[in-house]
Amino acid sequence: MPTIETFHMPDAGEGLTEADIVTWRVAPGDTVEVNQPLLEIETAKSLVELPCPYDGVVVALLAAEGDTVDVGAPIATFDVDPGGEAPVDDAPVAQDAVVTEAVEGSAPPAAPVAQAPAAPEPAPASSPATVAETEGSGAVLVGYGVRAGSAQRRERRDGALDPIGGAEDASEYPVLAKPPVRKLARDLGVDLTTVTPSGPGGLVTREDVEQASQANSARSLATYAGDDQPWLESGYSKDGGRSTRVPVRSVRKRTAEAMVKSAFTAPHVTVFHTADVTETMTLVKRLKADREFADVRVTPLLIVAKALLLAVRRHPEINASWDDEAQEIVYKHFVNLGIAASTPRGLLVPNIKDAHRLPLHELAASLGELTALARENRTPPSSLTGGTISITNVGPLGIDTGTPILNPGESAILAFGAIREQPWVHEGEIKIRWVTQLALSFDHRLVDGELGARVLADVGRVMSDPSQGLVWG
């Protein structure tokens, strides 16, 4: 008989508790091999491609695209012995297969598929094995999934009777539709609760959704110019296309939670400094022409990053965090430098580990890699945690400066504004110079105004005279 193995949602890293199913790369009946791409998930921090943990045949996909699944929950089953005999008794069919057969009205399969075996009962609390097995998340990113019973899957949002359109009570909106039809509805901006079903038993079909979408388009005589934007793709409409509702999830949800927590937990103070950075622009030009830097991208951000690292070395108490539970200030003896990056998924702040140890060339290489991964949505989760101090570069957007909100767990963030040619008094004469504005926000619980001002002044000094870095370095 077939040998069924269940693959559970692994921990993508850094203690995340859930992930969204973005794309399945396989379908039931496909033959798979170990480590071939299985599916793509989106966590609160990044997109992650999961490899297949088994050789065999895909039996069932237990979560649909768009589902939010807890770490440790079963998401797929595999027959790892496809050449084995089919069971002779009436084995239960996997739940998703039952739903599919019921709603499609197709004939039953030649041989029913055995459901994955139930998770074993946990050992008594007094058992030493219990303690060892329950510590940590119990899940791994690559390999054979997680131990049975380590976590429970949350109720699927896109299940056959799940509410649509944000309703909390499924009985209020008893919509029956298959996961592919639900995904089509989200893609087309159709609210399933407004669709008249034509399928058997009140099933909403693909044709029903397409007709509803066409009706919505007809009612919306004026098409909103932004309706084709990527950030609207996961939305739906309740008013004939006049507005789009997008569920808050993944990066946007995480960013919102983090910013609210930071803004209402840490007392923010921001100090500002306008600096003549003409010498920095000259240095950038020289480094771009230097063969030693031919393989990396040199920008003013590289110099301001180095300037901040030097300022932290001179004032290490700025590199700290507040432990509210222990009522302690934690001073970090390392600098994980965060760089705020705008990506298609929202704002991310990946950080360069131990940036204080890097010479200028290696720092430039790390900045380039960090930026490329963020733009490609391939930032690893480990790069998004453990930051100690950050930079937000608003200059490329033409913004002079701002009052940035602290990344949670950090004590300071530097805003680097646009560099512009302006009249400036230099050596007693008014000349056209390159000028920028810097702003440093800090947590006033552990950073006094004097300390924040000194750190910002040091950054400005290095930007105005990069040779000062040789003295401090």
Which positions are catalytic? Answer: 444
Answer for the pair 299, 353: CB distance below 8 angstroms, yes or no: no
Answer for the pair 14, 45: CB distance below 8 angstroms, yes or no: yes
C-alpha 38/C-alpha 41 separation (Å) is: 10
Q: Cα dist. 409→152, 259, 326, 356, 419 in Å?
A: 29, 11, 14, 19, 30
Determine how β-strand 429-443 pairs with β-strand 268-276. antiparallel
How many residues are given for the chain?
473
Both tokens assigned to 435: 């000028």
DSSP-assigned beta bridge partners for residue 77:
6, 60
DSSP-assigned beta bridge partners for residue 424:
431
Nearest to 200 by CA among 160, 156, 166: 160
Residue where the block lists tokens 């100690």: 388
Answer for the pair 43, 254: CB distance below 8 angstroms, yes or no: no
Answer for the pair 352, 337: CB distance below 8 angstroms, yes or no: yes
